[in-house]
Amino acid sequence: MSGAELIRGAGLIKRFGGIVANDTVEFAVVEGDLVGLIGPNGSGKTTLINMLTGHLVPDGGDVVLRGRQMRDRPAHVYAAMGVARTFQLTQLFSRMTVLENLLVPGLTRPHSTWQAEVRRAREYLDFLNLAHLEQLHAKNLSGGQQKLLELGRCLMLEPAILFLDEPFAGVHPHLRDELIKRIQELHKAGRTFVVVDHDMESILRVSQRLVVMARGRKIADGPPAEVRADQAVLAAYAGL
């Protein structure tokens, strides 16, 4: 980890009724990172992302974004400060066109204009191979195309960090490869990513650093090769 710290979850705790979804989790991401966040079902990955993007208020601990304490701040403030995210189950503006889906985040940026944002949105649609679909309603796209569009919506924020929650789930292998390629290109161009997924093969293909969660706790954090050999990780995945 070499760049400046972008975001840090400091001792994050989240409970749902009697269940502790996140138990004093420490999680930091620096500029230029490409972090894979893995763990079995119910390990607390999405809860952690929800807290780090302002969609859930922690019961304990705090999120520090570029040195600012973010407790109780709404999600749109995180977005304005360069935090973008996708959702586990794709959440698009279904009855709006592909182009409009990208214009929404674009036009929330200060000093943005329609013309400039339309131009930028078309550039991203070209990059994501969705240009020919710009007037289609988002609900009419295939599952993989919807994942790409959600990524495009994130990019319109020109974010410092992108949290992708299960971007490869249910995606055709061809589109999954395309998605991985795009993530790698964007990372090379300087974007920071946190990618959550169950698909170990895809995660290992993209990530430089692997964080493993189990039962609401972080159990491993380091280079993928090292983490793969970790006994605690193997035990968690074997359900021990």
Partner 1 sequence: MRGLHVYILLAAAALALLFADQLTSYWMHVAIIAMFYGILASSWSLLAGYAGLFSLGHMAFASIGGYASGLLVQWYGIPIPLGMAAGVALCCTLGGLIGWVCLRMSGPYLAIFTLGFAEIVRITFATEDDITSGMAGLHVERLFDTPSRLPYFYTAFGLLAVSLLLMGGIVRSRWGLFLRAIREDEQAASASGVAVARFRILAFAIASGFAGLAGGFYGHYIGILTPSLGGLDLMALLVVMTVIGGMERLPTAVGGAFVVEFLLELLRGYGQWRLPLFGIVLLLTMRFARNGLLTPLWLKFVQLGEPRAAAATAARDVPQKDSAQ
**CA–CA gap between residue 142 and residue 138 (Å, rounded):** 9
Q: Is 108 in the site for partner 1 (CB under 8 A)?
A: yes
Q: Which residue has the tokens 């599952």?
A: 143
Least distance from partner 1 to the Cβ atom of residue 208, Å = 25
5, 23, 62, 134: which one binds partner 1 (CB under 8 A) = 134
Q: Is 132 in the site for partner 1 (CB under 8 A)?
A: no
Start-to-end CA span in the chain (Å): 31
* Segment (H or E) for 120: helix 114-127
As beta bridge partners, residue 16 has: 19
Q: Which residue has the tokens 């079902």?
A: 41
User: Cβ(224)–Cβ(209) under 8 Å?
Assistant: yes
Count of positions on this chain that bind partner 1 (CB under 8 A):
33
Q: Is 140 in the site for partner 1 (CB under 8 A)?
A: no
User: How many residues comprise the chain?
Assistant: 240
Footprint of partner 1 on 47-86 (CB under 8 A): 53-55, 74-76, 79-80, 84-85
* Segment (H or E) for 30: strand 19-30
Q: Is 118 in the site for partner 1 (CB under 8 A)?
A: yes
69, 91, 140, 142: which one binds partner 1 (CB under 8 A) = 91
Least distance from partner 1 to the Cβ atom of residue 175, Å = 20
**CA–CA gap between residue 48 and residue 78 (Å, rounded):** 15
69, 94, 129, 140: which one binds partner 1 (CB under 8 A) = 94
- Residues lying near partner 1 in the complex (CB under 8 A) are found at 53-55, 74-76, 79-80, 84-85, 87, 91-97, 99-100, 103-105, 107-109, 114, 118, 134-135, 153, 156-157
